[in-house]
């Protein structure tokens, strides 16, 4: 991705993540990273390609897991 395209991502949201800044890296392979803030408050850095499949800092997965766990507990109580 070109820098201009990456700059366009700033301000956009991907699931719970919002791109807040474009960071330039000294590396040759990945020149830029996107600084993102999750709705839970966590700041993480992603490559633009990661954002295609990333929807949260990881808290979303944790929450889903917790929900299914409590659903399972409820099922046990019903028995």
Residue 68, phi then psi, degrees to nearest 5: -70, -30
Q: Is 59 in the site for Zn ion (CB under 5 A)?
A: yes
Q: 32 - beta bridge partners?
A: 24
Q: Is 22 in the site for Zn ion (CB under 5 A)?
A: no
Cα–Cα distances (Å) from 58 to 32, 40, 63, in that order, read 22, 10, 9
Q: Is 37 in the site for Zn ion (CB under 5 A)?
A: no
Candidates 18-26, 29-37, 43-51, 58-66; binding stretch for Zn ion (CB under 5 A)? 58-66
Q: Which positions touch Zn ion (CB under 5 A)?
A: 38, 40, 42, 56-57, 59
């Amino acid at each position: 991705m070109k820098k201009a395209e990456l700059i366009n991502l700033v301000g956009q949201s991907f699931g719970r993540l919002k791109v807040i800044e474009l960071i330039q890296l000294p590396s040759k392979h990945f020149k830029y990273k996107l600084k993102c803030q999750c709705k839970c408050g966590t700041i993480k850095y992603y490559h633009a390609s990661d954002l295609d499949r990333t929807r949260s800092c990881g808290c979303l997965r944790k929450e889903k897991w917790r929900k299914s766990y409590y659903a399972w507990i409820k099922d046990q109580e019903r028995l």
